[in-house]
Chains A and B, each alone.
Chain A
Amino acid sequence: MPELVRDTGVSELRFRDPGRARALAAALEQLCAQIGRDTVSVMHVCGSHEQSIAKFGLRTMLPRSLNVIMGPGCPVCVTDVPEVDEAVALALDGKIIATYGDMVRVPGSSRSLADAQAEGARIEILYSAAEAVELARDTTEEVVFFASGFETTAVATAAVVLADPPPNFTVLSAHKYIPPVMEIVAEMPGNRVEGFLAAGHAAAITGSAIFDRFVEHHRIPIVVAGFEPLDILAGLVKLLELIRDGTMTVENMFPRCVTAEGNRNAQAQLWRVFRTVGGNWRGIAHIPNGNLRLRDEFAHLDARRRFAIDVRRLWEYAPATLTQSCICGDIMAGIASPERCPLFGKECTPDAPVGACMVSNEGTCKIWHQYGGHPDL
C-alpha cells in the first residue's frame, strides 16, 4: 500500500472517540438495568463485526448481563463437508477448481483442496468470479468455480452466470442464504437470542427490509449496524432499546450505506440465477432454504448436473480423530465459545487448523486467536 496522503478533513474521532464509546457503554449499562434480567443475549452474524469487537476489546466495556455472541457469520466456516468433497472429487478428476483463497484449506471428509493440490490437482485461487470466467476463456480444460459466500457474494456469481460464460465454465455452488439460519439458531435449545445485529455491507445489497418477515414471525428485533467500534456500540444501544420496549422492528443504524430496499438490480440477478434449497450448514443443522443452488434454466452451468461427482471414494479414509473434538458447530450456533474447545490454541491454530472456524479471517476461532475474545476484566 502506498502511504495515504489524502486529507479528508474528517476527524477520526468521529469513529473512535473514547468519550463517545464510554457514553454508549454507560447507556448500555442503564438499558440492561432497566431490562432487569440476569442475561440478555444478542447475536451478530458477521466476521467483520467480530473482528472489531475482539480487536477493540468491546466485551470488556459491556454490562456483565449483556452477552454478545457471534453466530454463523462466516461463509467459509459453514461450507459443509460434502460440498468440499464434491470440489475435491472434481479436482481429482482433473477439472481445474477455481475458488476463493480460504476455501482451499477447509477440511473435507478426508481431504481439503490443498491436499488435492499436493496430490497434483490444479487449484486456482482467485479474488473474483469474473477471474474464474477469464480463466475458462484462456483454456480448453473444464474450469469449475467452487463458489462460496453469503447472498452478497452470490450476486457476483449470478452476474457472471448471466454474462454468457464459455462452455467449459461451470459453478459448484456452496453459496448460503443468511436469513433462514438466523431463524434456526434463534430457536436452538440453549440459545435465547433476544436480538440480532445485522451486517452493514451485506444489507447494502439485500436492503434492511429483507429482515421484516423474520422480525414479524419470530418477534426478535434486528438492528443493521456498521463495523466500526462506535457503530457497533450504537447498534447495541438501539437493539437494547427495542428489547426493553418490546418493539419488534428492523432499525437501520447504517444509513450511510444501507437502504430499506437495497440494490434491486443485484437482487433481481441473484434470484434469476439462484433458488433456495435446504441443506446442512457445517456443524450447525439442516437449514431449510439455507443453500443457494442454480435454477434449472442454468443446469448447463451447474457442475452438479454436468458431471457425475463421485465423492464415495473420499470416505475410505478414516477422518482424523482430532476433528471429532472440534466444537465449531456449537460455536457457530452461539452455544459455545472458542475457549471451551479443548483444541483451541493448542492442537488447533491458524497455521494448523483442525476446524473451519480457525481457517478464515471471518471465523470466530481465528479472530479470538488473533485478538483474544473475552478478555478477563
Chain B
Amino acid sequence: MTEAAGDTGDNGKAIPRIVTSRWDLADGHTLERYLDTGGYGSLRKALESMTPAQVHEEVKAASLLGRGGAGFPAGVKWGFCPPGVFPRYLVVNGDESEPGTYKDRILMERDPHQLIEGVLIACYAIGVGQAFLYVRGEMALAQERLAQALNDAYAAGYVGRNILDSDFSVDIVLHWGAGAYIVGEETALIESLEGERGLPRLKPPFFPAAKGLYMQPTVVNNVETLANLPWVIDHGGAGFADLGAESSRGTRLFAVSGHVNRPGVYEVEFGTTTFRDLLYGAEYGDGIVDGNRLKAFIPGGASAPWFFEEHLDLPLEAGAVGAAGSMLGSGAIVVMDERTNAVKAAWRVVRFFARESCGKCTPCREGTTWLEKILRRMLDGQGRPQDVNKLLDICDNISPSITWPPKQTTICPLGPSAVSPIASALIRFQDEFFAYCGGEPVEITVPVGGKAYIAAPPTVGAPS
C-alpha cells in the first residue's frame, strides 16, 4: 500500500523507452536528475538551432498521434491555428479519467520536467503566448510534483521570460479541475478553464484551433503526447517515425489492468506487439489470474468496443484495431476472465457514463440514465424479456445503427461511449442477458452494425 507504486515498463526488449526512461529513478521528478539525464537538451537544441517552423516539421514528420484517445496527429492539429491571429494558447490535458486509463498521472508524478519540456517545445513551435497545464483535481501528488518542477524550472531559467536567454518567453500556469470526467473533452476543458461548468461546445462551426480559450486559437494536447516531444526533437521526426507501425508511429503506454497476473503500465512499440503478448507475455501481463480463460478485454478505455479471444493476435496499432471494430483509445486494456459477469461488467461501465454525462444533450443525459437503470433492475432480479431489445433501442437512439466508429446524436462522444459496453456484452453473451430477463431466448430485432460487436456468430436472433 504505497503511493506511486506500480510496475514499470521494464520489458527487457531493445526498444527505446521514450517516455518512461526516468520511471525507475527514485528522484526522476527532480530538476537535478532531469538535467543529469539529458533534460532540457531538446529545448536548448530547438531554441539554438531550429526555427519554430522546423520544430513543427519534425513533429509532423514523426506522425505523432494524440495520446488522449482520439488519436489525431499532433503536428496537423497545430497547423490548424489560423495565420496572423494571436495570442495562441496551449492547454495541456491532464484530466485523465477514462476508466482503465492510468498513464498521464504517472508521467506527471514521476517525470514532470519531461512534460514541461514538451510543453515548451510545443509553445515555441506554435507561437503560444501562454500555456495552461490542466491537471485532474483528484491528483494531488501530480499537482505537487508539477508545482515543484515548475518553480524549479522558472528559477533555473527554463520557463518564463527570455527562456535560456533567448527571445522565447512563455508562462506555464498550473491549474487543476475539481472532479468531472467530461472535462477531458477538449472544449469542455476550455469551458472549465474559463471558470464555467464543463459542458462541451457545439462544433462546428468553431474548433479550438481557430476559436478556443477566450475565443482565441488554442491547441489542446494530452500529457503523453507532449511528453514525447523532447525525444522527437532529440532524435528527429524521422527517428521517431522509424519506430512502430504504418498507422501509429513510436511507442505507446498501455495500462493492463483487471484479471492478469502482472497488472502494470508498459511502454510498447506500436505494431510489433500483439494483445496476446501484452496479456500473456511474462514481461507484461503474464497470463490470466488463476490460470483462468479469457472472457473479454477492453482494448482502449471504457468507451471502446470489447475484444475477445479471436482478437488476441491483432498488433497494437491503430489501423489494425480500427479495422477490427474498436480502438486503442487511451491505451487502457481491461482484462476480464471467464468468471466475470458480463451483465454486471456492462452495468458498471454504463453507470460511469450515466454519472458523468454533463446533461447538455438529451440522448446522452436520458439515454445513459435509462440504460443504467435497466441494467441495474436486471441485476436486481427484475429483468423483463423486452429489456434486451429495449437496451439496444436506447443505444440506437444515442448512436444510430450502433456502428463503429459511432455515429452520434450528441455534441460529444460521451453518450455513444455507453453504447460500446452494452452492444459488446449483449451480442456476445446473449445467454447471460436472457438469464436475467425471464430466462428464455429473445429474438434480437434491433440492428447492430459495429464489427467487433458482431464478430462472433450470434447464437440466437441474428441481427436483421
Answer yes or no: are A and B bound together in one complex: no
Residues of B whose CB lies within 8 Å of any CB of A are none
